[in-house]
């Protein structure tokens, strides 16, 4: 059995459901229970949107470089009354959670209590996931009332700031280049100029 099995290619980590077939939605509680039981590895990267598990693309070197520089900057400059949490789980409802690269929220809120309405700013660093982060993921942030989201293109170092949340999503998208400073509307002290951090477009 083992000799024959080794000749087959490894099974893919994701599947594509046939069009029109129903799928069972998962809950945040069920996912957390599976992680606790070891059924899902604790380090496996995915998000849960409307009960569907969405695998996250592997992080590239550019993504990690930009994220490290931003984390160093935020931890040195953030005001005492705000958390700038890196890669924390943002629980949105019983069937949805996201994992933004950075999440800005008041220090009066604990991580276990953190929900979408507590978030002042979410920041995503994207290289291979840029289309997803600026597409489906932005619509999820808007649906749960996050007032402002920044998506950073790790390659061009352009920041896309989604603002002015309305009934149909974000009404404005500001594009800030690497030489421009950008500040959060609801957390003015949270700001950066990527070029000033020593980062350069690839």
CATH code for the domain in which residue 172 is found: 3.90.1570.10
Final residue in a domain of this structure, among 17, 38, 55:
55
Cβ atoms of residues 167 and 142 within 8 Å = no
- Residue 100: name the closest of 72, 137, 127, 142 by CA: 137
Indicate whether 1 pLDDT > 60. Answer: no
β-strand partners of 191: 183
The rounded Cα 62 to chain-centroid distance in angstroms is 16
Across 72-106, b (16+ Cβ under 10 Å) vs e yields ebbeeebeeebbbbbebbbbbeebbbbebbbbbbe
Which residues make Cβ contacts (< 8 Å) with residue 59, sequence separation at least 6? 127
pLDDT in tens, 75-129: 999 999 999 999 988 998 888 889 999 999 999 999 888 998 999 999 999 998 8
**70 token code pair:** 């931003």
Asked if 95 and 121 sit in the same domain, the reply is yes
Asked if 81 and 46 sit in the same domain, the reply is no
- Structural domain total, the chain: 2
State if pTM tops 0.75: yes
Cα distance between residue 117 and residue 76, in whole Å: 25
């Amino acid at each position: 059995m083992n000799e024959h099995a080794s000749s087959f290619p490894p099974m893919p980590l994701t599947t594509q459901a046939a069009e029109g077939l129903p799928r069972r939605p998962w809950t945040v509680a069920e996912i957390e229970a599976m992680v606790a039981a070891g059924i899902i590895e604790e380090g496996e990267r995915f998000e849960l949107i409307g009960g569907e598990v969405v695998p996250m693309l592997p992080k590239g070197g550019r993504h990690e470089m930009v994220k490290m520089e931003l984390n160093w900057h935020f931890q040195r400059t953030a005001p005492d009354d705000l958390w700038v949490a890196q890669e924390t789980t943002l629980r949105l409802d019983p069937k949805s959670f996201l994992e933004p690269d950075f999440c800005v929220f008041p220090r009066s809120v604990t991580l276990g209590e953190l929900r979408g309405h507590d978030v002042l700013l979410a920041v995503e660093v994207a290289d291979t996931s840029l289309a997803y982060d600026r597409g489906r993921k932005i619509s999820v942030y808007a649906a749960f009332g996050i007032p402002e989201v920044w998506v950073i293109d790790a390659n061009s170092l352009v920041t896309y700031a989604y603002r002015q949340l309305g009934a149909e999503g974000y009404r404005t998208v500001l594009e800030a280049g690497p030489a421009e400073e950008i500040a959060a509307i609801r957390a003015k002290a949270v700001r950066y100029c990527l070029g000033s951090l020593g980062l350069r477009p690839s």
